[in-house]
């Protein structure tokens, strides 16, 4: 019975195996990024980025029609432009990250809508651009896997400066010139993960598997390495359980995965070992020393 | 003096005939297929503008101020009805138009999809004939002076539609009965299926919005495998990768594009209604025939 | 002795208003210099200039070839994100950046050095604590431990003994003396004149511009202190652009 519910869907159907592979690859890339985003108070950047890529996709559409490659490349370029410009403005002026990003993505969105209306059709470009986890073809799987590998490699390189920059940015500025490049590399990773996530899996999953696992991890670990591990594992677990849920009950797959992650999140919020609400209310007897 | 009166009467008669050569009747059609039907019924006596143009999606259309202007200037608005143009009533009201609205699908027996009606009635050529007849009647009411012309145009077009209908039935009859079923991403072919006997099975619902679940996909794959459905078709609006995936996993052939919700541009495969139906039946027979 | 820091007519400030106006002078290598002055005198601004965070509005700061990894700067600690999940051990360990860079491993030797640094400031046992759980004094000691590990030639401390108890101050002062003995150049911004008189041989009295600079006894006189108090703290919004001329240096 258990095998039937939990394993059989994946042995019987190739699209389920591919979906699971996609979820694992996405979790490996997106979850660590999500932890850093959360710690840098940039958790809403995902939504902003989903809109910011519109002019790039629109220009790709103008040039090549409904060609997914052109539109994704355009989206990537637009995403990079917005992220990097926002990052540079935040570093060199009084405007902070959130306001800087908000201003740039709004400009980008307005540009995108204008460009689309010039062409005259009303196809919801973003709808076309965003994919579905049940439709993983070889090319998309390859892109997500490649993306995860690159993300992990780059993160390994910029890990130290990124951490120091979060905790004590003044210190980093005084001992190294690595702060700005590390930050920009991080933003680039965010854009790549988001755009590829959208392209493969849609906005909900692309952003959801970045941010929710980070929120979950916050309640189980006080150490950033521990947080990253827990985030990746909870993302994979949510993906797996969500796919099974979608298979057995007919809920659309993207929302199913996010709903499972949300359940994990609420459980963590209530009873997580680091600051969960129930633990706060009932802390147990204090220690001797 | 009598001469002058004679001349004046002649001039008056001529003058009254002049309007017949003056303004064409301004008609607004809600989307491209209706626009094509109106043009065929009205000929050069009508000036047709369309709101939802070629290669666009009527289900998610957002009207622009230019549309409100088109409606305000029109004498007649042709809509599909059956819930197809949810965005239209407010647009008409806010534009302050005095145009008469004619529902092309009046008199058709609608198919039901769940609790609502399936609006894609034009997929059956016989229904299209009813559409054209309704349109023609409305044109004649709006512009009685040209009623004869409208009648003539309509008759000619109805003959073409009859021929088209026979074409489709012939093509279907040549297919082996157990191969008369396809998968398409857009279940807007309900009327076509009922009229011509090809079964259309879709992974998604009627509009382009809903997202599939793993269970839905598994069911389709199982169904294709069990029923040995030979072909899978793409629709020009939704995600083609999903259809590719289903095709890869079942061995069903990917058949090309079917057009259901609107025409393509001039250079596309389906610039007119008749072209659209012809293209669709050719694509179907090519995929199912082997 | 060669000058470690040479200030040539330096003006540092914000939005064109000078916080440090036309400062010139030299700090010898290995000096132990106290920088004093009323609030708003420009001490923190000067230190930011030395650390390379703030670019001078005019004039130049010459650090005799030191690059930024040779300078340890201890600011007034406001910018640290205490909610970040990092332990005291790891935080102090970032002081080894100069040796480890991006990738260098933290081997046995490095870990021992970190433990020793923590012990030197009296924070043994705190290795696994999250930085958010530390008191003000413990935070300051942790920052001193990091400076220890940085092994820098030039050490710049901005009000390092603010809001900490006398015992901790005394302990940290011993560290400062140790750095002086190791021939490092140390600058510290301070408010406690007794501390300055007993422990710092040289003093710079700053009041947005130079008031006095030299041996402590000659600088901390009541005339100088009175003159420093006459400094105006606020920026003048109606000020005109400054005509370039250096005030004569009053260094002894």
DSSP assignment of B124-193, as one string? SHHHHHHHHHHHHHHHHHH-GGGHHHHHHHHHHHHHHHHHHHHHHHHHHHTS-GGG-EEEES----HHHH
Nearest residue on chain B to A65, judged by CA atoms? B55
Residue B61 pLDDT grade (very low, low, confident, very high; cuts 50, 70, 90): confident
Q: Which of B20, B13, B14, B19 is nearest to B149 (CA)?
A: B20
Q: What is the pLDDT of residue B205?
A: 34
With CA atoms as reference, the chain C residue closest to A223 would be: C85
For Cα atoms C16, C35, C169, give the angle at the middle one, nearest 5 degrees. 130
Flag the least confident range among A9-13, C101-105, C210-214: C101-105
Ranking B76-80, C198-202, C220-224 by mean pLDDT, the lowest is: C220-224
3+ Cβ–Cβ pairs closer than 8 Å linking B and A: yes
Examine the pLDDT at C247 and tell me if it is beyond 70: no
Residue B13 in this model has a pLDDT that exceeds 80: no
The stretch B191-199 carries a mean pLDDT of 90
Using DSSP, state whether B255 is helix, strand or coil.
Answer: strand
Helices assigned H by DSSP within chain C: 43-51, 88-93, 97-100, 108-120, 136-150, 166-181, 193-199, 216-219, 222-229
| CB-CB contact of C33 with C27 (8 Å) | yes
Do at least 3 CB pairs under 8 Å connect B with C?
no
C-beta separation of B134 from B103 below 8 A = yes
Residue A232, pLDDT score: 96
In the predicted model, what is the mean pLDDT of chain A?
A: 85
> What pLDDT, on the 0 to 100 scale, is given for residue C251?
35
Question: Is residue A261 scored above 90 in pLDDT?
Answer: yes
Condensed to tens digits (0 to 9), the pLDDT of residues A22-48 reads 999 999 999 999 999 998 888 888 788
Higher pLDDT residue, A237 or A187?
A237
Residue B136: name the closest of B53, B59, B41 by CA: B41
Q: Are the C-beta atoms of B208 and B59 separated by less than 8 Å?
A: yes
CB B177 within 8 A of CB B195: no
Q: Is the per-residue pLDDT at A288 higher than 60?
A: yes
User: How many CA atoms does the CB half-sphere of C81 hold within 13 Å?
Assistant: 15
Do B161 and B125 contact (CB within 8 A), yes or no? Answer: yes
In the predicted structure, residue B137 carries a pLDDT above the cut 80: yes
Higher-confidence residue of A212 and C222: namely A212
Sign, Cα dihedral of A191, A196, A201, A202:
positive
pLDDT tens column, C80-112: 888 888 999 999 999 888 777 777 677 888 899
Q: If phi over 0 gives left and psi between -120 and 50 gives alpha, with beta otherwise, what is residue A203?
A: alpha
Confidence of residue B276 (pLDDT cuts 50, 70, 90): very high
Say what the pLDDT of residue A281 is: 84
Reduce the DSSP state of residue A14 to 3 states and report it. helix
Q: How far is B212 from chain A (nearest CA, A)?
A: 5
Query: Is chain A adjacent to chain C, meaning 3+ CB pairs within 8 angstroms?
Result: yes
Tokens of C89: 């051990």
Q: What number is the average pLDDT over the span A108-134? A: 73
A248 touching chain B per CB within 8 A: yes
Q: Which of C57, C82, C49, C23 is nearest to C154 (CA)?
A: C49
Query: Which pLDDT does position A114 carry in this prediction?
Result: 85
What are the chain C neighbours of A173 within 8 Å (beta carbons)? 52-53
The C-alpha of C129 sits at a distance from chain A's nearest C-alpha, in angstroms, of: 10
The continuous run of DSSP H or E covering B234 comes out as strand B231-235
What is the pLDDT, as a whole number, of residue B207?
32
Q: Do C73 and A157 touch (CB under 8 A)?
A: no
Mark yes or no for CB contact A243/B214 under 8 Å.
Answer: yes
pLDDT category of residue A126 using cuts at 50, 70 and 90: low
More confident residue, C164 or B274: B274
Share of chain A above pLDDT 70, in %: 95
Q: How far apart are CA C95 and CA C91, in angstroms?
A: 8
pLDDT above 70: residue A183: yes
CB contact under 8 A, A171 and C94: yes
CA dihedral over B114, B115, B119, B121, signed as positive or negative? positive
Which of the 8 DSSP states describes residue B19? G
Which of A22, A261, B177, A171 is CA-nearest to residue C98? A171
- Sheet with B100-103, strands from edge to edge, namely B46-52, B25-31, B76-79, B100-103
> A120-129, A179-188, A227-236: lowest mean pLDDT where?
A120-129
What 8-state DSSP symbol labels residue C87?
Answer: B
DSSP C63: -
C-alpha dihedral sign at B248, B250, B254, B259: negative
Q: Which residue has the higher pLDDT, B213 or C197?
A: C197
- Best mean pLDDT range from A2-11, B135-144, B198-207, C100-109: B135-144
Answer whether residue A172 shows pLDDT above 90.
no
Q: State yes or no: pLDDT of B151 exceeds 90.
A: yes
User: Residue B3: is its pLDDT beyond 80?
Assistant: no
Closest Cα in chain B, distance from residue A168 (Å): 44
> What digits encode the pLDDT tens for the residues A46-70?
788 878 887 888 888 778 876 667 8
Per-residue pLDDT tens digits for C15-60: 778 888 888 999 989 999 999 988 888 899 999 999 888 889 889 8
A131/B248 touch (CB, cutoff 8 Å), yes or no: no
Which tokens go with B273?
């209604």
- What average pLDDT score do residues B225-231 get? 84
- Give yes or no for residue A140 having a pLDDT over 60: yes
Position B183 pLDDT exceeds 80: no
At residue B236, the pLDDT reads 42
C-beta separation of B25 from B142 below 8 A: yes
What secondary structure letter does DSSP report for C53?
S
Where does the pLDDT of residue B237 fall: very low under 50, low under 70, confident under 90, or very high at 90 and above?
Answer: very low
Task: Give the residue with greater pLDDT, A134 vs B59.
Answer: A134
* Cα R_g (chain C), whole angstroms: 19
The pLDDT assigned to A207 comes to 86
Alpha-carbon distance B147 to B144, whole Å?
5
Q: Average pLDDT in the B159-175 region?
A: 93
Q: Tokens standing for A53? A: 């890529």
Q: State yes or no: pLDDT of B113 exceeds 90.
A: no
C11-17 long-range Cβ contacts below 8 angstroms, 24+ apart:
C11/C56, C11/C57, C11/C58, C11/C59, C11/C242, C12/C42, C12/C45, C12/C46, C12/C48, C12/C49, C12/C54, C12/C56, C12/C57, C13/C45, C13/C57, C14/C45, C16/C57, C17/C235, C17/C236, C17/C239
Cβ(C125)–Cβ(C94) below 8 Å: no
C-alpha atoms less than 13 angstroms from C-alpha of B189 in its C-beta half-sphere? 27
Is B78 in a helix, a strand, or coil? Answer: strand
Set of chain A residues whose Cβ sits within 8 Å of the Cβ of B239: 128, 131-132, 135
Helix and strand counts by DSSP (H, E) for chain C? 9, 9
Task: Give dist(CA A22, CA A27) in Å, integer.
Answer: 8
Residue with tokens 């890990």: A159
pLDDT computed for residue A195 by the predictor: 80
C131 interaction partners in chain A (CB closer than 8 Å): 167
Number of continuous H segments (helices) and E segments (strands) in chain A: 14, 0
pTM of the model: 0.71
pLDDT digits (tens, 9 = 90+) for A270-284: 988 888 888 888 877
Band of pLDDT at residue B67, cut at 50, 70 and 90: confident
Enter the tokens of residue A276.
Answer: 């969960």
Is B63 strand, coil or helix? coil
CA separation for the pair A276, A218 (Å, rounded): 9
Chain-centre distance of CA B2, in angstroms? 57
Can you name the residues that pair with B101 across neighbouring β-strands? Answer: B77
Say which residue, B129 or A137, is predicted with more confidence.
Answer: B129
Helix segments in B23-146, DSSP class H: 32-42, 65-73, 88-95, 125-142
pLDDT at B206 over 50: no
* Mean predicted confidence (pLDDT) in A215-230: 92
d(CA C173, CA C182): 14
- Name, in order, each residue with C-beta under 8 angstroms of A260's C-beta and a sequence gap of 6 or more: A237, A238, A241, A242, A245
């Amino acid at each position: 019975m258990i095998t039937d519910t939990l394993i059989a869907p994946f042995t019987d159907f190739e699209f389920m195996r591919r979906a699971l592979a996609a979820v694992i690859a996405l979790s490996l890339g997106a979850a660590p990024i999500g932890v850093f985003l959360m710690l840098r108070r940039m958790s809403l950047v995902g939504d902003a980025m989903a809109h910011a890529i519109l002019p790039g996709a629109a220009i790709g559409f103008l040039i090549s029609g409904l060609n997914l490659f052109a539109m994704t490349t355009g989206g990537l370029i637009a995403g990079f432009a917005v992220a990097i410009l926002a990052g540079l403005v935040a570093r060199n002026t009084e405007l902070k990250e959130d306001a800087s990003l908000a201003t740039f993505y709004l400009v980008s969105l307005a540009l995108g809508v204008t460009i689309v209306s010039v062409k005259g059709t009303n196809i919801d470009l973003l709808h076309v651009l965003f994919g579905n986890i049940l439709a993983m073809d070889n090319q998309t799987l390859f892109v997500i896997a490649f993306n995860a590998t690159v993300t992990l490699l780059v993160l390994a390189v910029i890990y130290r400066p990124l951490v120091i920059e979060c905790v004590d940015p003044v210190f980093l500025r005084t001992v190294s010139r690595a702060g700005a490049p590390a930050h920009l590399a991080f933003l680039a990773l965010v854009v790549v993960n988001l755009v590829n996530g959208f392209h493969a899996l849609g906005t909900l999953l692309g952003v959801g598997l970045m941010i929710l696992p980070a929120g979950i991890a916050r309640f189980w670990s006080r150490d950033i390495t521990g947080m990253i591990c827990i985030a990746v594992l909870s993302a994979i677990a949510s993906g797996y359980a969500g796919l099974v849920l979608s298979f057995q009950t007919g809920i659309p797959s993207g929302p199913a995965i996010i709903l499972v992650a949300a359940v994990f999140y609420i459980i963590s919020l209530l009873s997580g070992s680091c600051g969960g609400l129930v633990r706060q209310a009932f802390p147990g007897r204090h220690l001797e020393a | 003096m009598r001469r002058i009166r004679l001349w004046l009467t002649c001039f008056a008669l001529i003058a009254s005939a002049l309007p017949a050569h003056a303004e064409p009747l301004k008609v607004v059609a809600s989307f491209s297929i209706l626009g094509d039907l109106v043009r065929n019924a009205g000929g050069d006596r009508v000036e047709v503008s369309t709101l939802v143009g070629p290669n666009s999606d009527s289900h998610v259309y957002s009207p622009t101020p230019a549309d409100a202007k088109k409606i305000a200037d029109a004498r007649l608005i042709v809509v599909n009805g059956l819930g197809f143009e949810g965005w239209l009533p407010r647009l008409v009201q806010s534009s302050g138009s005095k145009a008469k609205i004619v529902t092309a699908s009046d008199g058709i027996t609608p198919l039901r999809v769940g609790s609502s009606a399936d609006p894609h009635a034009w997929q059956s050529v016989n229904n299209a004939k009813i559409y054209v007849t309704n349109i023609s009647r409305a044109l004649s009411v709006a512009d009685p002076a040209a009623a004869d012309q409208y009648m003539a145009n309509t008759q000619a077009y109805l003959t073409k539609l009859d021929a088209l209908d026979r074409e489709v039935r012939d093509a279907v009859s040549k297919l082996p009965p157990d191969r008369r079923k396809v998968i398409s991403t857009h279940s807007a072919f309900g009327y076509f299926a009922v009229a011509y006997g090809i079964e259309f099975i879709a992974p998604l619902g009627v509009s382009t919005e809903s997202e599939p679940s793993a269970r839905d996909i598994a069911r389709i794959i199982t169904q294709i495998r069990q029923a040995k459905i030979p072909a899978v078709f793409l629709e020009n609006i939704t995600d083609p990768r999903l259809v590719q995936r289903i095709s890869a996993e079942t061995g069903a052939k990917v058949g090309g594009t079917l057009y259901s919700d609107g025409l393509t541009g001039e250079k596309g495969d389906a610039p007119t209604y008749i072209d659209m139906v012809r293209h669709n039946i050719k694509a179907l027979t090519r995929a199912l025939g082997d | 002795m060669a000058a470690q820091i040479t200030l040539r007519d330096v003006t540092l400030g914000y939005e064109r208003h000078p916080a440090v106006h036309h400062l010139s002078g030299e700090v010898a290598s290995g000096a132990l210099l106290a920088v004093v002055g009323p609030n708003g005198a420009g001490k923190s601004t000067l230190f930011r200039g030395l650390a390379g965070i703030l670019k001078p509005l005019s004039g130049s700061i010459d650090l005799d070839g030191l690059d930024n990894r040779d300078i340890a700067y201890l600011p007034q600690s406001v910018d640290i994100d205490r909610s970040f999940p990092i332990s005291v051990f790891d935080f102090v360990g970032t002081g080894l950046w100069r040796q480890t860079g991006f990738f260098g491993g933290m081997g046995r030797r490095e870990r021992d050095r970190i433990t020793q640094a923590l012990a030197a400031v009296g924070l043994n046992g705190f290795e696994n604590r999250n930085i958010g759980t530390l008191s003000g004094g413990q935070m300051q000691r942790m920052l001193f431990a990091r400076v220890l590990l940085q092994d820098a030639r030039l050490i710049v401390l901005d009000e390092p003994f603010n809001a900490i108890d006398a015992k901790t101050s005394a302990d940290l002062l011993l560290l400062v003396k140790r750095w002086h003995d190791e021939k490092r150049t140390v600058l510290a911004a301070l408010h406690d004149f007794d501390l300055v008189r007993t422990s710092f041989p040289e003093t710079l009295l700053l009041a947005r511009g130079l008031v006095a600079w030299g041996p402590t006894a000659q600088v901390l006189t009541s005339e100088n202190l009175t003159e420093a108090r006459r400094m105006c703290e606020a920026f003048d919004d109606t000020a005109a652009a400054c005509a370039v001329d250096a005030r004569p240096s009053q260094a002894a």
